[in-house]
Amino acid sequence: MNRPVAQALVVVRKELKDAFRDRRAIYSVLLGSLVGPILVGVMISAMADRQREIEDVAIPIVGRVHAPALIAWLEQQTGVTVLDGPADAEAAVRGRREAVVVVIPEDYAERFRASRPVEIRVVSDGSRAASRPKVQRVLGLLQRYGSEVGAMRLIGRGVSPAVVRPLDLVEVEVSSAQQRAAVILNFIPLFIVLAAFTGGMHIATDATAGERERGSLEPLLVNPAPRLVIASGKWMAAALSAMLSVGITTLLCLAVLRVIPLQDLGIRFRLGPAEVAGLVAGALPLCLLATAIQTCLATFARSFKEAQSYMGFLILVPMLPGVLSAVYPIASQPWMYPVPILGQHLLLSDVLGGKTPGVVMFIAAAATTLAAALVLVGLVTALLRRERIIFGR
């Protein structure tokens, strides 16, 4: 093996050994890797629960004795149970004891027989977003009962129900089930990208700003190793740690997706070896760039503290495309793929969304990302030649 490569590997090995004896470093890798999968699991489980809640609806009805036919029809619908309503419907909803209460008036039977509209009150609190799906479901059920009864009455009078239905609304859902899943699963790329940034952060700062603060940089640089070798060794050690973190995050997210009941959300979700390979191929180049940025900033920083505060700001950068696309999905354009960080985010979203971005896109994203990383490592090398950097300012 040639000498500089061997020396760089010596640095890599030392930095990894040193870091993984540090409990804080291990915690920072684990924390960065675990938060994502846990949050994804909790979020998707919560969504699945809410979905189930809408389908399995228990409706408190005040005055159910006045409309036995309506109650019987409701109870025949799948997932619907009817409960006795509270004494004061509005107080119960305002007090958040109930999400929705249906109130049937005493004159129901009388007006019904006379074919006069019956006022049925559906009491809800519009400021509570969480109860909205349930309210919608209740309103939908009552409207369906109303139009069914209406249709029967028209038929009874010899009129086709189609006459009073000039518009026939049909909702057409164009996204495939997997694409709909991608919207929800958009958080996974975000967490994988975050892991790339948190996983190597500790080594990147400890091996540069920390090394100088301990006073071990000067004796280290007296060894006959080119600065590029020292810089690359430190960078690679941080990158490997980031890759480990990305690996853990990816595997745990996949494990979470296997365990939680995705079918309850109407999501068909397939993750074969090809998808896993796609995730890894998309994320690994980012580890190289993320740690190159961190190594560069931490070498430049005047102190370990300053380096750490840079790292805090840096975390925000990878969150940008993730947060934006979680809020409103960006229509991905081909030119976005070679943009470092954004490109990786799109690749990961595509893979999870069941789209296969071409191999060209993977190569383009990896190439520009690697190029940016190498430029930054070159910058670290140049910084390590500066007397001000070596001896502190």
The correct pick among 225, 236, 237, 361 for binding other proteins (CB under 8 A) is 225
Residue nearer to other proteins on the CB measure, 94 or 214:
214
Q: Are the C-beta atoms of 139 and 122 separated by less than 8 Å?
A: yes
Binding of other proteins by 393 (CB under 8 A) = no
Q: Which letter does DSSP use for residue 104 in this model?
A: -
Question: Residues 173 to 202: which contact other proteins by CB under 8 A?
Answer: none
The correct pick among 18, 53, 125, 306 for binding other proteins (CB under 8 A) is 18
Alpha carbon 7 to chain centroid distance? Answer: 40
Q: How far apart are CA 391 and CA 108, in angstroms?
A: 89
The correct pick among 215, 272, 273, 312 for binding other proteins (CB under 8 A) is 215
The correct pick among 106, 171, 173, 387 for binding other proteins (CB under 8 A) is 387
Residue 83 pairs in a beta bridge with 60
Residue nearer to other proteins on the CB measure, 233 or 340:
233
Q: How far apart are CA 324 and CA 91, in angstroms?
A: 40
| Nearest distance from C-beta of residue 337 to other proteins, angstroms | 40
Binding of other proteins by 1 (CB under 8 A) = no
One-letter amino acid identity for 28?
S
Residue nearer to other proteins on the CB measure, 220 or 276:
220
Binding of other proteins by 154 (CB under 8 A) = no
| Nearest distance from C-beta of residue 308 to other proteins, angstroms | 18
Name, in order, each residue with C-beta under 8 angstroms of 362's C-beta and a sequence gap of 6 or more: 278, 281, 282, 347
Two tokens at 63?
Answer: 């005055």
Among 368, 238, 372, which residue's Cα sits nearest to residue 298?
A: 238
Q: How far apart are CA 16 and CA 370, in angstroms?
A: 22
Among 295, 293, 308, 284, which residue's Cα sits nearest to residue 230?
A: 295
The correct pick among 114, 222, 327, 331 for binding other proteins (CB under 8 A) is 222
Q: How far apart are CA 75 and CA 43, in angstroms?
A: 31
Residue nearer to other proteins on the CB measure, 64 or 234:
234
| Nearest distance from C-beta of residue 22 to other proteins, angstroms | 6
| Nearest distance from C-beta of residue 305 to other proteins, angstroms | 17
Residue nearer to other proteins on the CB measure, 14 or 128:
14
Binding of other proteins by 11 (CB under 8 A) = yes
How crowded is residue 266: how many other Cβ atoms within 10 Å of its Cβ?
A: 11
Residue nearer to other proteins on the CB measure, 21 or 270:
21
| Vertex 234 angle, CA 229 and 239, to 5° | 120
Among 345, 184, 183, which residue's Cα sits nearest to residue 279?
A: 345
Residue nearer to other proteins on the CB measure, 14 or 50:
14
Binding of other proteins by 238 (CB under 8 A) = no
> Do strands 121-124 and 100-103 pair parallel, antiparallel, or not at all (unpaired)?
antiparallel
The correct pick among 154, 221, 319, 379 for binding other proteins (CB under 8 A) is 221
Q: Are the C-beta atoms of 373 and 288 separated by less than 8 Å?
A: yes
Stretch near other proteins under the rule CB under 8 A, chosen from 130-138, 177-185, 245-253, 385-393 = 385-393
Two tokens at 119?
Answer: 């006022």
Q: Which residues in this chain contact other proteins in the complex, by CB under 8 A? A: 3, 6-7, 10-11, 14, 17-18, 21-22, 211, 214-226, 387, 390-391
